[in-house]
């Protein structure tokens, strides 16, 4: 099962969404639920993403991936700066809990939480804070090789709003290389202005 999910995740990065979905559409393990939610979000099917999360929560209420999905669902449904600030508070509590107990086997979970914390910063227009968080604690130099595809996309959004065109071009190139089918790449290439691409 884990191999199917890994293969499906690779297909998503390549833009083969339908084939990826077919591989995991009937699977009921937490990893498959998580990937289906991410596919729904990428396809801007937010109601479907929420439905998948609710099924995941019912089937696997105590799984770590379900806790992460809860945070992501909260961010996805945030509609105001206050909502994003509330999500930031929840994320900080979870990060503090992980780091306090030095749970080394939870490093992947911690990285996901850091990614979601950056997303909460973006929702509050704290772009420099988000870039610093995703870039190993510094604003410069940028290190795209150390970032996940989602983190790269978030940094691209931040740099555009921060008016850093040289860095933006480099990070868009890195995102295009890592995930050529990422929806943000297509939006940037199709839009006349960067803000038009990220405001849809």
200 and 134 in a common domain: yes
196 and 143 in a common domain: yes
142 and 118 in a common domain: no
The tens digit of pLDDT for each residue in 36-82 reads 998 998 888 989 999 999 999 999 999 989 999 999 999 988 999 99
Which residues are within 8 A (CB) of 32 and not within 5 positions of it... i.e. 6 or more apart?
1, 4, 5, 8, 24
Task: Kindly state whether residue 145 falls inside one of the protein's structural domains.
Answer: yes
Position 105 pLDDT exceeds 60: no
> Domain range for residue 30?
1-63
Q: Structural domain tally of the chain? A: 3
**Residue 199 — very low, low, confident or very high, per pLDDT cuts 50/70/90?**
low
Task: Kindly state whether residue 70 falls inside one of the protein's structural domains.
Answer: no
134 and 121 in a common domain: no
Task: Kindly state whether residue 36 falls inside one of the protein's structural domains.
Answer: yes
Do the beta carbons of residue 116 and residue 79 sit within 8 Å?
Answer: no
- Cα dist from 136 to 46, 102, 140, 142, whole Å: 30, 19, 10, 9
The whole-model pTM stands at: 0.80
């Amino acid at each position: 099962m884990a191999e199917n999910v890994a293969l499906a995740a690779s297909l998503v990065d390549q833009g083969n969404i339908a084939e990826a979905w077919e591989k995991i559409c009937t699977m009921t393990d937490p990893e498959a639920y998580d990937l289906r939610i991410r596919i729904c979000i990428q396809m801007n099917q937010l109601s479907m993403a929420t439905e998948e999360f609710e099924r995941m929560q019912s089937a696997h209420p105590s799984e770590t991936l379900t806790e992460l999905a809860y945070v992501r669902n909260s961010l996805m449904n945030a509609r105001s700066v206050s909502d994003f600030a509330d999500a930031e508070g929840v994320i900080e509590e979870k990060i503090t809990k992980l780091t306090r107990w030095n749970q080394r086997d939870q490093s992947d979970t911690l990285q996901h939480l850091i990614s979601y914390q950056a997303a909460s910063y973006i929702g509050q227009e704290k772009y420099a804070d988000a870039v610093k968080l995703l870039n190993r604690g510094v604003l410069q130099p940028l290190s795209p090789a150390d970032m996940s595809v989602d983190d790269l996309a978030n940094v691209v959004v931040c740099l555009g709003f921060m008016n850093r065109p040289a860095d933006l071009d480099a990070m868009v190139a890195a995102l295009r290389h890592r995930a050529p089918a990422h929806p943000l790449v297509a939006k940037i290439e199709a839009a006349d202005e960067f803000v038009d691409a990220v405001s849809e």
